[in-house]
Chains A and B, each alone.
Chain A
Amino acid sequence: MRQLIQVRVNGQMYEEEVEPRMLLSFFLREGIGLTGTHVGCVVGECGACSILLDGRLVKSCLLLAVQAHGREITTVEGLAGKEALHPIQEAFVKNYALQCGYCTSGMLLASHYLLTRKPDSSEEEIRRGLAGNLCMCTGYTQIVDAVKEAGREYKKE
């Protein structure tokens, strides 16, 4: 028994039939081919699958695809503008705030969510804001530095 859902992802409208038990993370990856959302644990611990749902930061492995019906989603693929990278993406590149790239999508969305609400977040606030996203490679230092630097761009906006 499949269910029809309508969901807007990165501005694009999708109408898809899904199994009610399908997780949102798998819907994004396998259902509509947005493989930038990564899966590291499927139980909400690692944050690799973080997305924005109606502007709020959520872990897409903790939601069913059917729960996204009628809502708006931003994934990592939707961060950049048509020409240039988004300032948070640019700061991650510039500061070497990634290594293997697997946590990066979730990290970016968590950072973006944090800076949207508080561009001048202190180091402690940044660390608390990213505590739901695990990175096994970087030791977080360059990520925190990137978020700090990007904050200055958010202030300008």
Chain B
Amino acid sequence: MSQTKYIGKRIRSKEGPRHVSGGGQFTDDMTLPGMLHAVILRSSFAHARIGDIDSRAALEVPGVVAVLTGKEVKEISRPFKPGRYSAGLKTPIPEFATAMEKVRYVGEPLAMVAARSRAAAEDALDLISVEYEPLPAVVDPWQAMEPTASVLFEELGSNIAWAGAVSYGDVDEAFRSADQIVKEKLKTHRYSSTPLENLACLSSFDKASRKLKVWCNGQNPQVIYDALGEALSLKDYRVIIPDIGGGFGQKIHLIRKYVVLTSLMSVKTGRPVKWIEDRSEHMMAAGQSCGMEFDIEAAVKNDGTVLGLKIKEVDDVGGSVSTLTIHFTNKLNNLFSTYKVKNLRLEGRSVVTNKCPVVPNRGIGKPSMCFIWERVMDRIAKELGKSPVEVRSQNLVPAGEFPYSAPNGNLYDSGDYQTLLEKALKKLDYDNLREELRQEREKGRYRGVGVVIGLEPGGRNAARDMAIFPNVKELPGAGGVEGATIKLERNGSITVFLGAPSCGQFHETTTAQIVAELLGIVPEHISVASRFDSEVSPWGIGSSNTGNNFHLYDIGAVHGAALRLREKILELSAHVLKSPKEKLTIQEGVVSADHSSDNQVSFAQLGRIAYSNQSLIPEELEGGLQTTFFYKFPHAQPFMVPDKQGRVRAQFTFSAAAHAAVVEVDPETGRVKVERYIIVSDNGTMINPDVVDGQIYGSVAHGISVALGEGFVYDSEGQLLTITLTDYTKPTTCETPRVEIEHSPVPSPFSVLGQKAAGEGAAIPSPAAIASAVEDALQPLGIRIRELPLSPEVVWRLMNESKKGEAESP
């Protein structure tokens, strides 16, 4: 688009005014007549057999209406089907909303109490007695793999719940041709984006009509809808998702247990039931990202060319098999990152442990995949005595090769990676900075710089998971169809319904900008429905606030629907104005023939005709100024479904960014201070630059904090030690650095407006950037950074152990 009025411009947001006035509507803000409050009894053991659960005393508490234990859950519901997140699971393991027979992590739900007040329900919780027979807790994945380890799922025979591999190119040949093999071992930890709003659900079952209505803050309506269908023997249910207080992946999967449990309680009592998770429950049981370990070998030429990579991965997936392989399969999305390397083998093992199950979190396996590439690039540079930037540059996919086919089936739409790196270097004044830092290090200050690059794929294709599990019985959602509905109202204003919910990414504003541009109306006259409603929303395969979906699918659908409505408006106007359609123009909600102010019809007049005067609607025109359009990504084939070699278009658009961090390490405390942080980002055409910036600021803040210490810590008994946000060390304004963003967009030739993703974005390369900078700062001590997080304690230990080593060596 050359000349735009709203796309790419600063605009007052649609969501802002209601949120700054306290007018957002979150699940917990709703109250229904006769509503009960529910709380959940959770396991205090990491691993135990469960005997009898006695709730008689609890039922005596005034105000308590019902208790639902696992025994009854088993009687009145069915287990979830193993979904695509458990691709590769060989033995079906039925999973219900509560634990059955055994608990496998601290916080696993056992029973639910419903009472007239939350306080009464909590009083009753203390009176439920549970017979536990404790089993040895298996906390470390390496211990879990020992033949003598206590087994979590007897059906599997061992704690290695999955093992498999993907391989692209000729890896063996790459390693035969290499001048050098560079080896490295890396480790990333468990963390979460900890959305400020905890999980929430309100279920209302109408006994007479046997209809269930559910409000919840699930990011993916498909998960909620399928869970209700699988678990409850109901045919009629409706899922409504109002404002969500942050998602980041945390609210995709495990929330289904709680929605089912709350709904079963509503069915049981015949009353509306509200369940609101508290913060400690969220930390224990709402899901964590995966702890991952990697054993890496890189085949390298002496000139720095990387021929191939072999990676052996161990994933600590926690106490459930329902998200068995997500952190492995998600690496297919950025498997080759920004590099033109042709050969790669990734072998994985998913190990179950007595910790919280893993869930998606901003990028899922992608930050680790980027971490692998960028740590290895630094290592190669070191071993070859080259500049780390030079090694990266010579292996990048060149700007002239787009669209670029990656060996694993991904088709990179557009990009100019070298320019991203160069702009970052220029902003840093890299050569002078490196010299300055070197001199400072000689004087005893631990300052360093790290420059990395990463890919940000967008648009989910769930068939990707079949690359490791081609025999899957039920095809997961392949591709990404998504709908949008637009109508011109009776008063001439425009209403839009999207197919997916929002977690705070300004979908209403962005949508209004596109519709305003295409229809010729001011954004103030456009209203975008702020909630998902399964009965109204035009949803499809891509309807999910996950996988960087919105930019591709929802915008594609909005674009298509707006163009269709524009056609309808023009056809009706042509009839009313008695002018050929080609001579009509639209401006500010007024259609003019031949640019004349004498022959005009306003949207308001058109609305009155469409809603109240059939005599003015032409015979051949469908009545009603409303359209629904379903968008399909046009370049999903070939490889929408994996071929025999496992090649698959894992995602469809490819943003990229260079990240540069300058840090100083305090040797007294081990604390890392981020002095400067630069991002040069290619997100394609930006529809709303403030929104794109916000996504980058937010995702980089989390990535930096993940690298510098936030994370979950368990003791040897499987008890979670980081049960509050303070223990978990969530960063405040004071710990979060100000980040400099420069945009360097290369529009996608494949998406409707050239737009690419921006949601997960900066969370992907930032841990690698910090690791690189810290390692540079600690050069005088010869320390290699192999593990996250780099909390003050970890860094202090690294520094002191290395000094001790120096002192001890002769």
Contact = CB atoms under 8 A, between A and B. Distances in A.
- Binding site secondary structure of chain A: loop
16 contacts: A34-B22, A36-B22, A40-B279, A45-B730, A89-B17, A96-B506, A100-B195, A100-B247, A102-B245, A104-B19, A134-B730, A137-B698, A139-B739, A141-B693, A142-B690, A142-B694
Contacts of B28: 29, 35, 39
Interface stretch (B8-16, B341-349, B406-414, B625-633): B8-16
B700 A38 contact: no
Given A26-B118, A89-B21, A137-B694, 4 more contacts: A99-B698, A100-B504, A126-B733, A142-B690
B532 interface: no
A80 interface: yes
From A26, A48, A76, A100, name the one whose CB has the most chain B CB atoms within 10 angstroms. A100
A4 interface: no
A96 B20 CA distance: 11
Nearest to A22: B119
B198 A101 contact: no
Nearest to A43: B724
Contacts of A39: 28
Contacts of A34: 22
Contacts of A139: 697-702, 736, 739
B23 A36 contact: yes
A30 B31 CA distance: 9
A1 interface: no
Given A75-B22, A131-B733, A40 B698 contact: no
A89 B724 CA distance: 30
Contacts of B19: 98, 101, 104
B279 A41 contact: yes
A2 B180 CA distance: 77
B724 A100 contact: no
Interface in A105-157: 105, 108, 123, 126-128, 130-144
A92 interface: yes
A99 B504 contact: yes
B734 A76 contact: no
A46 interface: yes
Most B Cβ at <10 Å: residue of A29, A30, A137: A137
Contacts, number: 180
Interface in B336-386: none
B38 interface: no
Nearest to A141: B697
Contact of B16 (A29, A38, A96, A102): A96
Contacts of B118: 26
B248 interface: yes
Interface string B709-734: 00000000000000011100010111
Given A35-B29, A40-B198, A101-B245, A142 B23 contact: no
A13 interface: no
A85 interface: yes
Nearest to A106: B196
A77 interface: yes
Contacts of B724: 41, 43, 45
A40 B278 CA distance: 8
A29 B243 CA distance: 17
A130 B733 CA distance: 7
Contact of A35 (B22, B244, B732): B22
Nearest to B503: A100
Most chain B CB within a 10 A radius of its CB, from A40, A42, A103: A40
A68 to B, nearest CB: 18
B20 A98 contact: yes
A138 B24 CA distance: 17
Q: Which DSSP category, helix, strand, loop or mixed, fits chain B's interface? A: loop
3 shortest interchain CB distances as A-B pairs? A36-B22, A100-B504, A139-B701
A19 B732 CA distance: 34
Interface in A28-74: 29-30, 34-43, 45-46, 48
Nearest to A44: B726
Contact of B20 (A48, A92, A133): A92
A75 B24 CA distance: 14
A101 B698 contact: no
A42 B730 contact: no
Nearest to A135: B196
- Most A CB contacts (10 A, CB to CB) among B18, B196, B504, B693 go to B196
Contacts of A135: 196
Contacts of A21: 119
Interface residues of A, number: 59
Contacts of A30: 31
Contacts of A80: 21
A146 B505 CA distance: 18
B16 A93 contact: yes
Contacts of B701: 138-140
Interface in B247-275: 247-248
B24 A101 contact: yes
Contacts of A26: 118
Interface string A1-28: 0000000000000000001011000100
A42 B276 CA distance: 12
B197 interface: yes
Interface string B567-610: 00000000000000000000000000000000000000000000
B196 A40 contact: yes
A5 B740 CA distance: 50
B246 interface: yes
A138 B698 contact: yes
Among B23, B193, B732, B733, max chain A CB count under 10 A is at B733
A35 B196 CA distance: 15
A89 B22 CA distance: 11
B750 interface: no
Contacts of B733: 126-128, 130-131, 133, 140, 143-144
B725 A41 contact: yes
B694 A138 contact: yes
B26 interface: yes
B11 to A, nearest CB: 10
B15 to A, nearest CB: 7
Interface in B538-570: none
Nearest to A139: B701
A139 to B, nearest CB: 3
A51 B523 CA distance: 33
B290 to A, nearest CB: 20
A19 B698 contact: no
